């Protein structure tokens, strides 16, 4: 270490007069005061005297435990066998119930507060809704099983189901979507969206928890995929990276009415949408078994059994 | 556990002769020597006998504290009220000033070193620039307030300002951009780019800290958005996922002159650019209130109040 | 704190009768039983009584140490100089050899198990393959040197090699690709794909470890880039964000034969592919020095020295 403590060491500071340092440090109180003033400024956003917020890190922990509950043995440090299976599942259910009921409570209270409503029995509500959620786990596992098989059938590069479960981002995003959508159905505020934004950050796949998506759903690669709030997707649908299922342009005035309408498309069974394709509008229906080519931009319905392509590109020779 | 410690336990190794193991391990010194030789090879990159580098983890911590300072109460574990507000803001300002001045110092020294310049008073410079940065926080908070409101107006799926502040990736990226751009204006090297690459990793939104972006800026979904170094964006502009504001193709020779020129487009007030659109070139100006359709590729200016679309796709019936 | 412990504190729960709480909690055993039943259901996926799985966190640690070994001094907390260089490189080689051999062993055993083969000398195999990998490090460093120089030549916004090495996502992804591809060549299962999915999560760049990629490779911005398993890329090739080098549509029946064929394109030397372009098919060859414009969709070969563009978009005036 001695050599690295010579003039070039990253620990050695340049000279500075103590007085100069003090002068500079003494500016801080004034800076604090300036910021405090703006804290009360209508133009800014703060969360003071406000109700509790669900904790992002708690939500991430819940999702980690849930993945292990939905795919037992894939993500635990400890090997599972018939001897310890019941204890491990029991531990997971208990932990998730405690953590989830707390975050549901926080979300509900935050929302009540926002509408200046009293928070009535929100702790009981938290416990009830957490139990209700856990009762839906077996069905979630079954549906996720169809999604994993769809990935294996859809991707020639897949070598095993195990590889898909523990490394495919599409399965990661769909797993969290199936969880968040269940909480969305239970009308839990805030939490479902936080879960999907976590999945979005990890995978680049942005699915709104409100979207309705059928069995055997496969997203390949996935980066840049966007699935809007009121999208309806049938069974055995396959999407590639960069696909947008979105809303049509909206005049700024109209936004508030739009919040309640169906603004996103309907994709029927067995449709394939290739990378970079964009399908917009609440009345747009892509008929069953149709194939939407890459990078196309669609705002009208497409009948069943149709293929839609871009014009072939222009070639220019140097 | 006993069962899991049987033949199938993940702890049980396969047999191997100690001598074989030793033989294999004894190859390591030779491997080390080979690598050491290449370490001095011109063709390779190393950072030996070099000046300190800003620490990525320190930069991430600074950004965490800054988010709390810019949106007080949203990201702290502890509830804020009028009683503890001053202490919390004071703690944040003090912590950020200490951490930021250290990283500014490291960045400046690293850069001086690169140009073989002596590092003069870089510690004082660090403290001064950190204070200068903190004095800009109130204005940053005001501008970020306009960005949050733009998100609420632009996205029918948004249910509350709170949801936007603590879960929208667009706001996360824009917050870090406003911070990094302030440091860019203060001519701090390295640090601004490190901050944006962190935001890029988290959100998939890649904004160069040198870009100039007006108030009420909204990026929806955001994955794949690229905003180049010399881009100029007006007020109330809205971008969707996969939008590129980039530079035109460049002959490899020309790269060095290009480093100083305006290479990226200008987007005037109230423009909307839909997903996957690409706008290239330093002379390209998108006029006020124009709408650029999804997946279009533009290298020429567009007058104000214009809509630009792709040809509608070809439909083929099976 | 006292104020924050009043009615608004995030710690204060709402009332709930202990009996109600107990009733709700007592539902858990039944929930556990329901989940246990489905655990044995063919339709679901679990990993019980199964062979060990490579640990994702261990893989991430290996990659952290490898980045430091491939670019000495860039990512270590401690400054490197000629005095401590040998010890640091020695420490890295030793640590990586231990960690990597263990994960190779886990991957191989997991795979043997999958095909119901006995695991023969997999520990020795782990040690041997880890040594073989480390012997390839000097060549990897040389090739990565060409990649860093290509980034500097290709990006006018780059201010220094240092900035590229420690902040460019393209270099991060290519570094992990060069590592994962070496393990792929050594026919290590599972591990290479896990490494690339980690890089995919961090950068949005999805390169299959099986792809063959020449020297001086540059990916700018990178989010949304997909490079398929059987892709072949020449020297001095440059890709931009959102580029797909993928496979053509496949009838669901045909998937299994396809697993062994070349399904992805060949990109010859000095080709540039702009953002959002998609090139598909195992017989598709993009000739040397050609330029593929943004957002184009190509399924046929392109001769050398050719430029390919989209039709220019339609302008509509309000």
pLDDT (tens digit per residue) in C39-65: 666 778 888 876 677 888 899 999 999
Residue from A148, A171, A223, A292 whose CB has the most chain C CBs within 10 Å, to mutate: A223
pLDDT of residue A9: 38
Chain mean pLDDT for chain A: 86
pLDDT of residue B3: 35
Higher-confidence residue of C316 and C12: namely C316
Q: Are C85 and C47 in contact (CB under 8 A)?
A: no
Chains that touch B (3 or more CB pairs under 8 A): A, C
Section C219-238 average pLDDT: 97
Task: Please give, rounded to a whole number of angstroms, the shortest distance from the CA of C237 to a CA of chain B.
Answer: 12
Instruction: For chain C, give the percent of residues with pLDDT over 70.
Output: 85
Closest Cβ–Cβ partner in A8, A55, A200 for B51:
A8
Q: What is the ipTM of this complex?
A: 0.85
Task: Please give, rounded to a whole number of angstroms, the shortest distance from the CA of A97 to a CA of chain B.
Answer: 22
Task: Please give, rounded to a whole number of angstroms, the shortest distance from the CA of B96 to a CA of chain A.
Answer: 11
Task: Please give, rounded to a whole number of angstroms, the shortest distance from the CA of A10 to a CA of chain B.
Answer: 5
pLDDT of residue B82: 82
pLDDT at A91 over 60: yes
How remote is the C-alpha of C263 from its chain's centroid? Answer: 20
> Residue C276 to residues B61, B208, C289: CA-CA distances in angstroms?
34, 19, 19
pLDDT at C227 over 60: yes
Section B44-49 average pLDDT: 80
Chains that touch C (3 or more CB pairs under 8 A): A, B
Residue from A44, A74, A84, A309 whose CB has the most chain B CBs within 10 Å, to mutate: A44
Section B236-265 average pLDDT: 83
**Reported confidence tier of residue C218, pLDDT bands at 50, 70, 90:** very high
Instruction: For chain C, give the percent of residues with pLDDT over 90.
Output: 56
pLDDT (tens digit per residue) in B293-312: 988 889 999 999 999 987 77
**Reported confidence tier of residue C229, pLDDT bands at 50, 70, 90:** very high
pLDDT (tens digit per residue) in B196-248: 999 999 999 999 999 999 999 999 999 999 999 999 999 999 999 999 999 98
| Inter-chain CB proximity A36 and B89 less than 8 Å | yes
Closest CA to A107 of A129, A89, A88: A129
Higher-confidence residue of B124 and C181: namely C181
pLDDT of residue C1: 30
pLDDT of residue C318: 58
pLDDT at B21 over 90: no
Q: Checking DSSP bridges between strand A306-309 and strand B314-317, what pairing results, if any?
A: antiparallel
Q: Are C119 and C109 in contact (CB under 8 A)?
A: yes
pLDDT (tens digit per residue) in A233-266: 999 999 999 999 999 876 656 666 666 789 999 9
- Going by C-beta distance under 8 Å and a sequence separation of 6 or more, which residues neighbour residue B17? none
- Going by C-beta distance under 8 Å and a sequence separation of 6 or more, which residues neighbour residue B187? none
Cα atoms found within 13 Å of the Cα of residue C311, Cβ hemisphere only: 12
pLDDT (tens digit per residue) in C106-164: 888 877 655 555 566 778 889 999 999 999 999 999 999 999 999 999 988 888 898 89
pLDDT at A104 over 90: yes
- Looking up tokens 């070994």 gives C69
pLDDT of residue B255: 63
Section C22-42 average pLDDT: 83
Higher-confidence residue of C13 and B64: namely B64
Q: List phi, psi (to 5°) of C77.
A: -65, -30
pLDDT of residue B124: 85
Per-residue b/e over B15-33, b at no fewer than 16 CB within 10 Å? ebeeeeeeebeebbeebbe
Per-residue b/e over A197-233, b at no fewer than 16 CB within 10 Å? bbbbbbbbbbbbbbbebbbbbbbbbbbbbbbbbbbbb
| Inter-chain CB proximity B275 and A226 less than 8 Å | yes
pLDDT at B97 over 90: yes
**Reported confidence tier of residue C176, pLDDT bands at 50, 70, 90:** very high
> Residue B34 to residues A214, B25, C72: CA-CA distances in angstroms?
55, 16, 14
Measured distance CA(C193)–CA(C201) in Å, rounded: 12
| Inter-chain CB proximity B138 and A309 less than 8 Å | no
pLDDT at B31 over 50: yes
Chain A contact set for B142 (CB, 8 A):
38, 41, 43-44
Q: Is C23 exposed, middle or buried (0-12, 13-18, 19+ CB in 10 A)?
A: exposed
């Amino acid at each position: 270490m001695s050599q690295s403590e010579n003039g070039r060491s990253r620990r050695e500071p340049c000279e500075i007069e103590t007085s100069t340092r003090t002068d500079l440090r003494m500016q801080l109180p004034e800076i604090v005061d300036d910021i405090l003033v703006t804290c009360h400024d209508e133009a800014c956003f703060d969360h003071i005297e406000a109700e509790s917020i669900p904790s992002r890190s708690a939500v991430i922990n819940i999702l980690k435990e849930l993945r292990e509950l939905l795919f037992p043995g894939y993500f635990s440090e400890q090997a599972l066998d018939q001897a310890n299976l019941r204890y491990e599942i029991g531990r997971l259910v208990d932990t998730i119930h405690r953590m989830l009921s707390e975050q549901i409570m926080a979300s509900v209270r935050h929302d009540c507060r926002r509408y200046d409503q009293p928070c009535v029995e929100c702790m009981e509500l938290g416990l009830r809704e957490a139990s209700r959620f856990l009762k839906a786990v077996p069905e979630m596992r079954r549906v996720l099983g169809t999604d994993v098989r769809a990935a294996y059938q859809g991707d020639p590069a897949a070598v095993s189901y195990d590889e898909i479960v523990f490394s495919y981002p599409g399965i990661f995003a769909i797993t969290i979507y199936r969880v968040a959508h269940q909480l969305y159905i239970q009308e839990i505020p805030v939490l479902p969206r936080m879960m999907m934004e976590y999945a979005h950050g990890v995978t680049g796949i942005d699915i709104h928890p409100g979207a309705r998506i059928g069995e055997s759903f496969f997203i390949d690669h996935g980066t840049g995929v966007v699935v809007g709030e009121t999208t309806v997707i049938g069974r055995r649908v396959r999407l590639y990276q960069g696909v947008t299922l979105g809303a049509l342009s909206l005049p700024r005035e109209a936004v508030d009415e739009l919040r309640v309408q169906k603004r996103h498309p309907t994709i029927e069974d067995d449709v394939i949408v290739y990378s970079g394709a964009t399908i917009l509008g609440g009345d747009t229906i892509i008929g069953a078994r149709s194939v939407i080519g890459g990078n196309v931009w669609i705002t009208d319905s497409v009948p069943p059994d149709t293929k839609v392509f871009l014009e072939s590109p222009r070639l220019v020779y140097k």
